[in-house]
Amino acid sequence: MKLFDVYPRFPVNIVKGKGNYVWDDKGQKYLDFYGGHAVISIGHSHPHYIERIENQLEQIGFYSNSVEMPIQDELAQKLGEISGYENYHLFLVNSGAEAIENAIKLASFGNDRKKVIAFEDAFHGRTSAAVQLTDNPRIIAPLNRGIEVVRIPLNDEEALIEAMDEDVAAVIVEGIQGIGGMEEPTAEFLKEIQNQCKQHGSTFILDEIQSGYGRTGEFFAHQYHPGIRPDLITVAKGMGNGFPVGGVLIAPHFEASYGLLGTTFGGNQLACAASLAVLEVYQKENILEKVKKNGELLINQLKEIPSVLRVRGRGLMIALDFEHPIQELRQKLMKEHYIFTGSAKDARTMRLLPPLTIGSSEITQFITTFAKATEQKS
């Protein structure tokens, strides 16, 4: 049997990670400025992370949600405390797409509707409902086209007001668009979404799968805008530092009932141990403050590079626009300078999503090398 070939991969076999670096099977060291799609939050192989998982594995690695699991309650309490959503509830799943599926389902259960407003250039996942909300017709199979999706431009208040009616189950928006290239909803637009949802009895869903968990310097990107309080928040990516885990933060007005939602692997003991390790490191090492400081340093230095047309983002969620497609530049950075970077929907946009633990030395290394590589390219 062969693998189903759906991933365009770099020709490199990564076998080791430590901190903000990874190594291939030939011993070559790489600076990781992509974090495996924004997943690595506390750095590769963080000692506390390893210890937490090892200790849990020595006790029990898995049992299903048919028994009590105090570690889930511990995680929910810690997440509520750090995120500022203490009075919300947590439903644990395995991935970002699964978090979106359950958020959409909860919205529809809550108001008995099936129309969803989503935005141009949005990415919400590849599973049945999530892929319909994603602005990429190429990955939507005919079988997926079951819910009514109204797609409008981001930050277009007139289009939002016109699209809203009593049939809208939910409006879903990313805290900052990831694949879309770090385009950000304005504070005014988020307030209008919130107002329209309240007015029409619709559910306000904030997709913080990539933009959340401290990547922007606030725990959630929408927390840069006071007064925004969504009904549902989806999380994943940096939540487990690589361990498959996701979740939905659920406002108190949603009523739970047995069998309403469910998952076999979601919230298992190892996933909770990994997630708790991440939050404990955030607290102990003041990760959010470091992200703000180092993100500002990195963004300011990127703006000084002549070949970069535009820099967008917050914290360590950054997009760079170039005049030409970036594929060749990314290959050059990886093969010649041993730095991993990411791409976006626009072929001319590069994404930088390093571990949240990078410091000034890694930023200096990146900027020095990146400036040389872009000079050579131009």
Q: What is the pLDDT of residues 319-343, one digit of tens each?
A: 999 999 999 999 999 999 999 999 9
Residue 377 confidence (pLDDT) above 70: no
Question: Distances from the Cα of 138 to the Cαs of 29, 84, 132, 142, 223, in angstroms?
Answer: 36, 38, 11, 11, 33
Q: Which helix (H) or strand (E) holds 233?
A: strand 232-235
Distance CA 19, CA 25 (A): 18
Q: Encoding tokens for residue 327? A: 């594929």
**One CATH from 3.50.50.60, 3.90.1150.10, 3.30.450.40, 3.30.870.10 for 14-46+286-377:** 3.90.1150.10
Angle, alpha carbons 174-177-181 (nearest 5°): 175
Percent of the chain residues past pLDDT 70, beyond the cut? 99
Stretch(es) of the chain classified as CATH 3.90.1150.10 = 14-46+286-377
Q: What is the pLDDT of residues 35-85, one digit of tens each?
A: 999 999 999 999 999 999 999 999 999 999 999 999 999 999 999 999 999
Side by side, the strands of the sheet bearing 14-18 are 14-18, 21-24, 29-32, 339-340
Computed over every residue of the chain, the mean pLDDT equals: 96
Q: Give the model's pLDDT for residue 144.
A: 87
Q: Give the model's pLDDT for residue 157.
A: 98
> Is there a contact between 126 and 305 (Cβ–Cβ < 8 Å)?
no
Residue 135 confidence (pLDDT) above 60: yes
Residue 375 confidence (pLDDT) above 90: no
Q: What share of the chain is helix, strand, coil (3-state, %, to 5)?
A: 40, 20, 45
Instruction: Output DSSP code: residue 256.
Output: P
Q: Encoding tokens for residue 218? A: 């606030």
Stretch(es) of the chain classified as CATH 3.40.640.10 = 47-284
Nearest Cα to Cα of residue 198 among 251, 147, 135: 251
> Is there a contact between 352 and 294 (Cβ–Cβ < 8 Å)?
no
Q: What is the pLDDT of residues 99-116, one digit of tens each?
A: 999 999 999 999 999 999
Residue 357 confidence (pLDDT) above 70: yes
Residue 376 confidence (pLDDT) above 70: no
Q: How many CA atoms lie within 13 A of 24 on its CB side?
A: 13
Does the domain formed by 47-284 have CATH 1.10.150.120? no
Residue 247 confidence (pLDDT) above 60: yes
Q: Which residues make Cβ contacts (< 8 Å) with residue 367, sequence separation at least 6?
A: 298, 301, 302, 305
Question: Distances from the Cα of 110 to the Cαs of 7, 190, 250, in angstroms?
Answer: 37, 21, 12
Tell me the whole-structure pTM to 2 decimals: 0.96
Q: What is the pLDDT of residues 286-326, one digit of tens each?
A: 999 999 999 999 999 999 999 999 999 999 999 999 999 99
Residue 378 confidence (pLDDT) above 70: no
Q: Encoding tokens for residue 238? A: 């940096």
Give the confidence band of 143 by pLDDT, cuts at 50, 70, 90.
Answer: confident
Nearest Cα to Cα of residue 175 among 83, 313, 81, 302: 313
Question: Distances from the Cα of 254 to the Cαs of 74, 108, 231, 250, 286, in angstroms?
Answer: 21, 11, 9, 7, 33
**Complete DSSP assignment for 4-69:** -------S--EEEEEBTEEEETT--EEEESSHHHHT-SS-BT-HHHHHHHHHHHHH-S---TTS--
Residue 145 confidence (pLDDT) above 90: no
Distance CA 207, CA 190 (A): 12
Q: What is the pLDDT of residues 152-195, one digit of tens each?
A: 999 999 999 999 999 999 999 999 999 999 999 999 999 999 99
